[in-house]
Amino acid sequence: MSNIRFHAVETASNREVSTATPPAAKTSEYFGCKVFNRKAMAQYLSKETFRAITSAIDSGEPVSLALAAHIAPSMRMWAMANGATHYTHWFHPLTDGTAEKHDAFVELDGKGGMIEEFSGKILAQQEPDASSFPSGGLRSTFEARGYSAWDPSSPAFIMGDTLCIPTIFVSYTGEALDHKAPLLKSISAVSKAAVGVCKYFNSDVSRVNSSLGWEQEYFLIDEELFNARPDLVLTGRTLMGHESAKNQQLEDHYFAAIPRRVVAFMQELEYEAWRLGIPAKTRHNEVAPNQFEVAPIFEECNLAVDHNLLMMALMRDVARRHKFRVLLHEKPFKGVNGSGKHCNWSLGTDTGINLFSPGKNTMENLRFITFIVNTLVALYRNNSLLKASIASATNAHRLGANEAPPAIISSFLGKQVSDILDAFEKSSVDDAIKVDSKKQVKLGVGQIPEILIDNTDRNRTSPFAFTGNRFEFRAVGSSANCAPAMTALNAAVAYQLSEFKQEVDKLISGGASKKEALYTVLKKYIKESKPIRFDGNGYSEEWKKEAAKRGLDCETSVPLIYDAYTSPQSLKVFATGNVHTKKELETRNEVKWEMYTKKIQIEARVLGDLAHNHIIPVAIRYQSSLLDNVAKLKNVFSDAKFKVLAKEQIRLIEAINEHITAVTETVDKMVDCRKAANKLSDERKKAIAYHDTVLPNFDTIRYHIDKLELLVDNEMWPLPKYRELLFVR
């Protein structure tokens, strides 16, 4: 599609920026036009090949090399018809981003020329160099071989002039070097376990799909201001900066009218997303100034993860065309809301049933309770693992702050669902189970119609909340790949459902009826999982104390949180469906500790550089001008008059000197701590040292620099301030 139109608008700074007008065509007419989806496959593949590949995708069966050989030429023809000249295997290494190596659709023809070619073997797998990707010691740097293998369940797409083929990435010895392979295994594991439980209620169920709807929060910053902040350029967040007199305290940005420049950015972003088959639906202002959100329609979990990574790449690209930079860091600005990526997760059958939706009779409602309760038990028994799945150096700045869930995993159910579980715990097999659906409420306001009230409220302080027919995992960070969190969640629920089925079947084999067995086990689970249920204020200090009493994981040190991945319980969970081997988990923790260390190390270096080379010289220069003024006053006025006139200047000079001294001494201390930590060879110990000895200096340095920002002449201050950064112009 080439009918998108660009024009320029004048900004407050009198600069021209690129803006997009939506194409004249309906969205439905070009949606997915850059995707080798079923519509494109039906057009380019033979009927037999089309049936074979769609059957393999739907059933989860592997695609043979023979079938790939039939598909590859047609995929190339489609791609070239849409402007592609290259192809790449697109995968998710352990960097949390994506990776790609481009090759052209060309081979020598033996006659001095070239021919376009793309074989089934190349489609099915490639061998990118694995030596420089994080592996946690799984591969030595001289062992370069790794393999990417085609994932047909996520359709190929075109970015620019390149056909991108979603793939998994594994080592020469078969271990996963990416996030997609374990995710696919966890999806398969939860399907198998959930089908087994569904058979108690409906024998027709043969497949259960996990779905995901992500809500991506982000900040937009003017490009010129971004480039003037080395901390934003190098770390994605501001390491210093006094809060603006006005930030979000008036709550006037949330859901307010979207600024014109931002609307233009959003329009082009949606256009690019729709062409790539990303079902973007919602856009709005978030709570903090310059903070926004985009959210799609729910999709199958694996495809949704791919689409989120694609969307983040699109956001960065489109933002630059509009003279913006997009910030995906979880806490780019102190004193205002950070950004998360709420992951709405659910389970649905191939017969069209949402397993987290109540039904019309007792058995359907018993099924609803069964899956709700098993999810709660999985959350309770694995709350340390679920927290580890979303922990990172960047997300640590957000979790526990007043606008984000606490670093304690709990679940909000709402009064009605909580009452249902409490009543069920005391019920008998003969009691009917009733779950009220949405109810109508008359507002009694003129022409306003009746509204439908959901059977549960929302709790924004809960990291894992039930929100009607799904659970919302709110603790995932905005910059994160959703896959690790979804992998841990799917694996935990799969393991729990398998445990549940074993207990129920054991009771049935002992003579209990199916319903009696279900009731017995569910009642036990409801009682066991009560500590994970919390509907109150997760921000309060009282909850932290209460959570500790309940036995929930209250650890806040990210390096220590990662230990949960290799606990005996986690090893059992990931063994279900062979989601992760023990070796993979151990090496992934090595990667996580190393990544944590490097991010704190980079921030420490940037902070030290800014302090020594930007802030202190300017503060001294301003202090010198004050001293010069004081000296001139002393030469002109009598001692008595001088003491009166110079009092405030002297106080200011002393205050500046106090803060300069504190910054210098703390930076030197931080550098010494960093040097000591760098001598440690054990990645876990090094990460702990960075957390315990290097990181605590950040707040002290920032405090004194922010005080200097208020004291030093505004025209001399070397960095754009929050009042400039936080408001779109």
Query: pLDDT tens digit string along 19-31?
Result: 455 566 799 999 9
pLDDT category at 455 given cuts 50, 70, 90 is low
The mean pLDDT value for 539-564 works out to 93
Kind of pairing between the strands at 86-90 and 162-171: parallel
pLDDT(12) > 50: no
CA angle, residues 191, 195, 200, in degrees to nearest 5: 160
Stretch 723-729: mean pLDDT: 86
Distance CA 290, CA 630 (A): 42
pLDDT computed for residue 430 by the predictor: 74
Task: Report in angstroms the alpha-carbon separations of 542 from 191, 537, 539, 545.
Answer: 39, 9, 9, 5
pLDDT of 462 reads 87
- Which pLDDT value is given to residue 402? 61
Tell me which residue of 170, 173, 150, 19 sits closest to 75, measured CA to CA: 150
> In the predicted model, is pLDDT for residue 251 greater than 90?
no
Considering only residues 552 and 16, tell me which one the structure prediction assigns the higher pLDDT.
552
Give the side-chain half-sphere CA count within 13 A for 281: 9
Least confident of 210-219, 441-450, 463-472: 441-450
Q: How many CA atoms lie within 13 A of 122 on its CB side?
A: 19
Residues 728/261, Cβ–Cβ less than 8 Å: yes
Please state which of the ranges 53-67, 292-306, 482-496 shows the lowest mean pLDDT: 53-67
Question: What is the band of 260 on the pLDDT scale with cuts at 50, 70, 90?
Answer: very high
Which secondary structure element, helix H or strand E, spans residue 236, and what is its range? none
- Measure the CA–CA gap between 145 and 489, rounded to whole angstroms: 31
**pLDDT over 90, % of the chain:** 73
Mean local confidence (pLDDT), 678-700: 97
Mean pLDDT value across residues 518-533: 96
How does the average pLDDT of the chain come out, rounded? 90
- At 4 the pLDDT is 46
User: What confidence tier does 293 reach under pLDDT thresholds 50, 70, 90?
Assistant: very high
Per residue in 709-722, pLDDT (tens digit) is 999 999 999 999 99
Residue type, 106: V
Give the tokens for residue 259. 């600024």
pLDDT mean over 361-368: 90
Burial of 238 (0-12, 13-18, 19+ CB in 10 A): buried
Nearest to 578 by CA among 136, 170, 144: 170
Q: What is the mean pLDDT of residues 37-62?
A: 94
The 10s digit of each residue's pLDDT in 469-524 is 999 999 999 999 999 999 999 999 999 999 999 999 999 999 999 999 999 999 99
> Cα dihedral sign for 344, 347, 353, 357?
negative
Contacts of 105 (CB under 8 A, 6+ apart): 76, 79, 80, 84, 85, 86, 87, 116, 117, 118
Instruction: Provide Rg for the chain, Cα atoms.
Output: 29
Q: How confident is the model at residue 165 (pLDDT cuts 50, 70, 90)?
A: very high
pLDDT at residue 135 in the model: 64
pLDDT at residue number 541: 84
Say which residue, 274 or 426, is predicted with more confidence: 274
Predicted confidence (pLDDT) per residue in 310-328, tens digit: 999 999 999 999 999 999 9
Residue reference for tokens 């994970």:
532
In this predicted structure, the answer to whether residue 106 has a pLDDT above a threshold of 60 is yes
Please tell me the predicted confidence (pLDDT) of residue 138.
60
167-199 residue pLDDT tens: 999 987 888 999 999 999 999 999 999 999 999
Task: Report the DSSP pairing between strands 411-412 and 464-466.
Answer: parallel
- Residue whose tokens read 């592996």: 135
- pLDDT, greater one: 198 or 442: 198
| Closest CA relative to residue 522, chosen from 397, 302, 373, 676 | 373
357's tokens: 């939706």
Q: What is the mean pLDDT of residues 550-559?
A: 94
- Residues 6+ away with beta carbon under 8 Å from 134: 93, 94, 95, 591, 594, 595
Q: Is residue 359 pLDDT above 90, yes or no?
A: no
Question: What's the one-letter identity of residue 117?
Answer: E
List Cβ neighbours of 456 (8 Å cut-off, separation of 6 or more). 413, 414, 415, 416, 417, 466, 467, 468
Confidence of residue 130 (pLDDT cuts 50, 70, 90): low
pTM for this model (two decimals): 0.92
Spatial CA neighbour of 223 closest among 254, 258, 261: 261
Contact by Cβ (8 Å): 698, 653: no
> What does the pLDDT look like over 637-651, one tens digit per residue?
988 888 888 898 999
| DSSP tag of 331 | -
Q: Distance from CA of residue 27 to its chain's centroid?
A: 27
pLDDT score for 256:
82
3-state secondary structure at position 445: coil
Which amino acid belongs to residue 676? A
Output the pLDDT for position 452.
46
pLDDT value of position 400: 72
Question: In the structure, what pLDDT confidence band is assigned to residue 437 with cuts at 50, 70 and 90?
Answer: low
Structure confidence by residue, pLDDT tens digits, 654-672:
999 999 999 999 999 999 9
